[in-house]
């Protein structure tokens, strides 16, 4: 893993200052990335927040409808009894009927929640935490982290005592996290659909997740009102927050104590977790997932048989040797020389014959004659044009004079 | 290097916010992508060793990313200014990306070429100017056309021209008043509105002199005078004139004004005295 085994802790006031250099990375960050586990766990855990709802059990059934049976030239669906209203005789009860009850009406005792094996849940959480330490995954998820000094971002515990939102905002700005907040603000949209009327008017993106440790921390209130920012205690890390939508790579800001607690929380590869009793981090199937590198390594290439060359039995497209010189040369290597000899022979034969010189004098004369004709034509056209113009002028002047005389 | 493989699997199979899928191809919206396509080789996220060319204010920079700085997004991209000389820039790329994969080197050079060509084009357009294509908005065009027609009608051009001519006459641009229609004239006199008469006469004059420019509408009395002098030399001519006048009067009294307008008018000039009219005042014609 190219995840940095050593991490710097930044000062809360100054992003360029480092309060603690080279803290070892908790083992969680080296867990293999398992999007399949995360996806499975997420889909199931997401169901646990649901509240029971149901359709009115009597809906569509509050009629004393009975089928008219056969012989009445109507379908056999139950029909509303009685008379004196439009409704009487209309179809009822069926899911296909107007005003009928739905098929398989929703019951309150639907299985709303899902249980997931604890180990799976823990593996998912561990993977999600690991993914927060991988820059490309955080970028791919859509967070704006190009100005953040380090991922994973660990800050001294001072931020836990922030009370004012301004402090929180300034902190985010200092560490390049404000761009992510701005993204959240600018992409706040009114939700499409009925949920608007059910208390979910806006669709808001997820911004940074701030993870703290001390229970007395006041930063919850400081960060509460910043759009997109969520605050959570390390001991209560939630997959739904670490991998929103089942997508790995949330942008997380850790406090120093929270970061240090991760080893106790998830354990390491040397010892199992203390808090998650007996939990051992997932071991990777392959320690080095870069297959290309492995295959091309010296150790493998030494043992590998030489690559089989594909024999070319014939050309893909047959070339005619009588027309294609290269094809000819392939068949008859002497053909090249034969051709050269032929050319030389021709040259030898024509040696001494005079070249037909172009009759320059004749050319000149013909050209002169042409020019003469062209010139005369030109003059003629010019004269014609001039004549026309004169006529025009005359005509109009006559007109003018006539007008004046009148 | 190790994690690249994993990252690519996650991004490609799962969700990448920079990926744009089309029917035929996948594109990458990431600003650092060399080719603009979504593939493992050209993914700036899935390659810890990566290089791009970007253009800023007419200058090309080489951005290089290495595995060592992978965890520090702020310092991730090293920005190297490339020479303005194309060939030197190519050698610079070769130097900076020495021992890198051929794909990376080649694509960077291609990108540099493309950017430079683009810059040349920009410069040319700035200097020469370029035709800006403006789309034709059907609805707007249709609307404006109709409005133009309406405006033309609303403008009352004829009335405006009338007024203009009357004003000109008032100002004395045309020396003489030409008497034409007795009926109309009487009306006008009765109503004490000289303007109507002039107006009509001017119109008739106008009609007659259709071929001429506006300037020539200005009636030059001097020209007229010459002819008149010829005509009025003899008594006979006088008689003839008088006869003509009466005849014409009779004719026109019967006709409506409109009809007269349609026919080609005969301008009759009546002078009280045989004078050379040099003063520019109006002369009342007693009838």
A139 with B5: Cβ contact below 8 A: no
Q: Which CB contacts under 8 angstroms, 24+ apart, belong to B214-217? A: B216/A400, B216/A403
What residues have CB less than 8 Å from B178, skipping those under 6 apart?
B201, B205, B219, B267, B268, B269
Is residue B172 exposed (0-12), middle (13-18) or buried (19+ Cβ within 10 Å)? exposed
Any chain A CB within 8 A of the CB of B16? yes
**Number of residues that this document lists for chain B:** 287
B45 with A148: Cβ contact below 8 A: no
Q: Do B29 and B20 meet the contact criterion of CB atoms below 8 Å apart?
A: yes
> Residue B203 has what pLDDT?
64
Best to test chain B binding among A136, A183, A187, A405 (most B CBs inside 10 Å): A136
d(CA B69, CA A1): 14
Any chain A CB within 8 A of the CB of B22? no
Least confident segment among A48-62, A380-394, B158-172: B158-172
Given a cut of 50, the residues of chain B with pLDDT beneath it are: 1, 192, 209-216, 225-232, 274-281, 285-287
Omega of the bond leading into A152 within 30 degrees of 0 (cis): yes
d(CA A227, CA A182): 9
B15, B71, B208 member nearest A247 (Cβ): B15
| pLDDT tens column, A74-99 | 999 999 999 999 999 999 999 999 99
Higher-pLDDT residue of A400, A26: A26
Q: Report the run of H or E that residue A59 belongs to, with start and end.
A: none
B67, B70, B74 member nearest A147 (Cβ): B74
d(CA A20, CA A7): 9
For chain A, how big is the Rg over CA atoms in Å? Answer: 44
Helices of type H across A216-322: 219-224, 239-242, 256-266, 291-295, 298-303
Best to test chain B binding among A127, A140, A243 (most B CBs inside 10 Å): A140
Which residues of A102-167 form beta strands (DSSP E)? 153-155
- DSSP labels, B125-191: HHHH--PPP----HHHHHHHHHHHHHHHHHH-HHHHHHHHHHHHHHHTSS-SPPP--HHHHHHHHHH
Helix (H, G, I), strand (E, B) or coil at A120: helix
Q: Which residue of A has its CA nearest to B29?
A: A140
d(CA B25, CA B23): 6
Inter-chain contacts counted by CB atoms under 8 A, chains A and B: 101
> Residue A69 has what pLDDT?
92
Instruction: Determine how many CB atoms are found less than 10 A away from the CB of residue A252.
Output: 27
Full-prediction pTM beyond 0.90?
A: no
Q: Do B50 and B104 meet the contact criterion of CB atoms below 8 Å apart?
A: yes
Q: Report the run of H or E that residue B62 belongs to, with start and end.
A: strand B59-65
| pLDDT tens column, A284-322 | 998 888 888 899 999 999 999 988 888 888 888 999 999
ipTM of the complex: 0.72
Instruction: Determine how many CB atoms are found less than 10 A away from the CB of residue B241.
Output: 16
Any chain A CB within 8 A of the CB of B2? yes
Helix (H, G, I), strand (E, B) or coil at B67: helix
Q: How confident is the model at residue A405 (pLDDT cuts 50, 70, 90)?
A: low
Q: Which residue of B has its CA nearest to A147?
A: B74
d(CA B276, CA B283): 13
Any chain B CB within 8 A of the CB of A392? no
Higher-pLDDT residue of B186, A334: A334
CA-CA-CA-CA torsion sign (B251, B252, B254, B260): positive
> Residue B208 has what pLDDT?
55
Instruction: Determine how many CB atoms are found less than 10 A away from the CB of residue A351.
Output: 7
Asked whether residue A248 carries a pLDDT value surpassing 80, the answer given is yes
A148 with B74: Cβ contact below 8 A: yes
d(CA A21, CA A10): 9
Helix (H, G, I), strand (E, B) or coil at B98: coil
Q: How confident is the model at residue A396 (pLDDT cuts 50, 70, 90)?
A: confident
| pLDDT tens column, A222-241 | 999 999 999 999 999 999 99
Q: Do B54 and B63 meet the contact criterion of CB atoms below 8 Å apart?
A: yes
Angle (CA) A216 A218 A221, round 5°: 135
């Amino acid at each position: 893993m190219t995840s940095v085994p050593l991490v710097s802790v930044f000062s809360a006031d100054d992003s360029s200052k480092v309060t603690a250099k080279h803290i070892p990375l908790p083992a969680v960050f080296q867990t293999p990335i398992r999007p399949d586990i995360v996806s499975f766990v997420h889909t199931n855990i997401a169901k646990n927040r649901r509240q029971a709802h149901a359709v009115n059990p009597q809906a569509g059934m509050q009629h004393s409808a009975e089928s008219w049976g056969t012989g009445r030239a109507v379908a056999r669906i139950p029909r509303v009894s009685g008379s004196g209203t439009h409704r009487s005789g209309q179809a009822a009860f069926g899911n296909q009927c107007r005003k009928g009850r739905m098929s398989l009406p929703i019951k309150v005792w639907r299985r709303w929640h899902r249980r997931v094996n604890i180990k799976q849940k823990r593996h998912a959480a561990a993977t999600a935490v690991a993914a927060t330490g991988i820059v490309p995954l955080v970028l791919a998820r859509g967070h704006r982290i190009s100005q953040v000094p380090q991922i994973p971002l660990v800050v001294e515990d001072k931020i836990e005592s922030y009370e004012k939102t301004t402090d929180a905002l300034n902190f985010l700005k200092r560490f390049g996290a404000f761009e992510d907040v701005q993204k959240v603000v600018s992409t706040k949209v009114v939700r499409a659909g009925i949920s608007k009327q059910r208390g979910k008017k806006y669709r808001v993106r997820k911004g940074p997740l701030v993870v703290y440790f001390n229970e007395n921390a006041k930063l919850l209130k400081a960060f509460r009102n910043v759009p997109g920012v969520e605050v959570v205690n390390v001991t209560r890390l939630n997959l739904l927050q670490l991998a929103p939508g089942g997508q790995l790579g949330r942008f997380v800001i850790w406090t120093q104590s929270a970061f240090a607690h991760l080893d106790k929380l998830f354990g390491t590869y040397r010892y199992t977790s203390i808090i998650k009793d007996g939990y051992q981090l997932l071991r990777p199937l392959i320690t080095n997932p870069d297959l290309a590198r492995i295959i091309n390594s010296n150790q493998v290439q030494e043992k590998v048989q030489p690559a089989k060359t594909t024999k070319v039995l014939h050309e893909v497209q047959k070339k005619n040797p009588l027309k294609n010189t290269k094809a000819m040369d392939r068949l008859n290597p002497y053909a090249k020389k034969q051709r050269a000899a032929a050319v030389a022979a021709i040259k030898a034969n024509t040696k001494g014959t005079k070249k037909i010189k172009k009759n320059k004098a004749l050319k000149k004369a013909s050209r002169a004659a042409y020019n003469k004709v062209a010139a005369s034509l030109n003059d003629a056209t010019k004269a014609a044009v001039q004549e026309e113009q004169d006529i025009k002028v005359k005509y109009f002047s006559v007109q003018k004079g006539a007008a004046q005389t009148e | 290097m190790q994690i690249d493989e994993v990252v690519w699997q996650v991004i490609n199979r799962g969700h990448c916010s920079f990926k744009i899928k089309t029917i035929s191809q996948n594109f990458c919206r990431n600003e650092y992508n060399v080719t603009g396509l979504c593939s493992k080789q050209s993914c700036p996220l899935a390659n810890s060793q990566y290089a791009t060319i970007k253009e800023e204010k007419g200058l090309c920079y080489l951005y290089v990313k290495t595995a060592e700085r992978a965890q520090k997004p702020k310092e991730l991209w090293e920005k190297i200014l490339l020479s303005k000389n194309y060939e030197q820039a190519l050698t610079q790329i070769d130097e900076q990306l020495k021992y890198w994969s051929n794909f990376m080197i080649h694509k960077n050079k291609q990108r540099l070429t493309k950017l430079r060509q683009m810059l040349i084009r920009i410069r040319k357009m700035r200097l020469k100017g370029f035709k800006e294509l403006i789309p034709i908005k059907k609805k707007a065009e249709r609307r404006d056309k109709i409005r133009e027609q309406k405006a033309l009608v609303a403008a009352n051009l004829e009335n405006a021209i009338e007024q203009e001519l009357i004003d000109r006459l008032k100002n004395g641009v045309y020396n003489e008043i030409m008497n034409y229609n007795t009926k109309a004239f009487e009306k006008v006199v009765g109503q004490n509105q000289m303007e109507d008469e002039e107006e009509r006469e001017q119109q008739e004059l106008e009609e007659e002199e259709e071929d001429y420019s506006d300037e020539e509408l200005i009636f030059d009395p001097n020209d007229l005078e010459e002819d008149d002098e010829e005509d009025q030399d003899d008594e006979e001519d006088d008689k003839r004139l008088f006869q003509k006048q009466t005849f014409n009067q009779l004719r026109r009294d019967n006709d409506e004004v409109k009809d007269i307008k349609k026919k080609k008018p005969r301008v009759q000039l009546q002078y009280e005295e045989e004078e050379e009219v040099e003063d520019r005042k109006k002369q009342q014609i007693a009838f």
